[in-house]
Amino acid sequence: MALKLRKVDYTKKGHLAYVTIRNAEHENCLEEEVDHDLWKVWHDFRDDPGLYVAILTGEGTKSFCAGSDLRAYVERIANRSPEWNRRRAHEGPNLGGITKGIAVWKPIIAAINGYCLAGGMELAMACDIRIAADHAKFGVVNRRWNVGAESGLTQRLPHIVGLGVALDLLITGRWFDAKEAYRINFVSRVVKRTRLLDECTKLAERICEYPQSSLRTDKEACIRGLGLTLEEGLRLENTLWNTNLSLPDTLDGPKAFIAKRKFVPTQEV
């Protein structure tokens, strides 16, 4: 059954899911309708066995996501109780639907097609791979409006760019371009704007050719292992991998290597 969405386009093509924020008139800001729609989309993507990889982008060529919509921010905060805000913080729907409160171990690629600001950076960081168009602009610009982080700026950013660079960006709120985003490892590559979606699709299709079970447990081990001791992380990694040992693909992969043939996964996971 098709999802009822108002501000997000969700298209399935083979094993790929294309997720597009449709709020270009407001720089693809994360209004409540967008958050609710994305919350539905990420649950559907997670639970659909035929989908392997998602590509997230924004409508148009100007903005990927310019963060929260501050036009409604004051009214929203002023009219809600502390109890409601605490529930929202832990139960969702959260900012962008995926920044917290939901675990998706399938790969998600952010196709950053313009402004990626504040909450937009948080949304991009909740994805696994970030590819930027060459005209993209970034910044923790919420700093100048006294809007604090709540969905990953202070937690994911240091892991991605390092503590020193993260503090620079968080404290100064300065703008930076795609070239610097690549230099500090916020994005893994920069491409021409006209090639952005094509490049993301090519990468996603390549990922779809891999067996998905080990890919997903490796992603889960990497994310869940953050903050653990080495001993705890090794135990987690080993436990997750051992959950796959009963799957046919676990032996089919090495058998294909021995036979010097291409490995074709035998089942969806």
Could you report the per-residue pLDDT of 49-74, keeping only the tens digit for each?
Answer: 999 999 999 999 999 999 988 876 66
Tokens representing residue 146 in the block: 């006294």
The distance from CA 218 to its chain's CA centroid, rounded to whole angstroms, is: 16
Q: Is the pLDDT of residue 159 over 60?
A: yes
- Give the type of residue at 205: E
* DSSP helix/strand/coil, 115: strand
Compute the distance between CA of residue 226 and CA of residue 215 in angstroms, rounded to an integer: 17
Neighbours of 239 (CB within 10 A): 11
Whether 267 shows a pLDDT value over 60: the answer reads: no
pLDDT band at 114 (very low <50, low <70, confident <90, very high): very high
Asked if the model's pLDDT at residue 84 lies above 90, the reply is no
Structure confidence by residue, pLDDT tens digits, 181-221: 999 999 999 999 999 999 999 999 999 999 899 999 999 99
Enumerate residues 6+ apart whose C-beta is below 8 A from 202: none
User: What kind and span of H or E run contains 91?
Assistant: helix 82-91
Those residues whose C-beta lies under 8 Å from the C-beta of residue 235, and which sit 6 or more positions away, are none
Confidence of residue 148 (pLDDT cuts 50, 70, 90): confident
- Percent of all residues in the chain with a pLDDT value above 70, rounded to a whole number: 94
Residue range 129-135: mean pLDDT, rounded: 98
- In angstroms, what is the C-alpha Rg of the chain? 19
Residue 74 vs residue 135, higher pLDDT: 135
Tell me the per-residue pLDDT of 16-40, one tens digit each, with 9 for 90 and over. 999 999 999 999 999 889 999 999 9
Q: Are 54 and 106 in contact (CB under 8 A)?
A: yes
Average confidence score pLDDT of the chain: 92
Beta carbons within 8 Å of 64's beta carbon, 6+ residues apart:
21, 28, 57, 58, 110, 111, 112, 113, 114, 115, 116, 120, 124, 136
Size (the chain), residues? 269
What's the average model confidence in pLDDT over 162-177?
A: 98
Q: Is the pLDDT of residue 89 over 80?
A: no
Residue whose structure tokens are 């917290």: 100
pLDDT band at residue 92 under the 50/70/90 scheme: low
- For residue 178, give both structure tokens: 């795609």
Q: What is the pLDDT of residue 259?
A: 85
Report the phi/psi class of residue 183: left, alpha or beta, with left for phi > 0 and alpha for psi in -120 to 50: alpha
Q: Provide DSSP, 4-53.
A: --SSEEEEEETTEEEEEE--GGGTT-B-HHHHHHHHHHHHHHHH-TT--E
pTM of the model: 0.93
Q: What are phi and psi of 144, to 5 degrees?
A: -75, -10
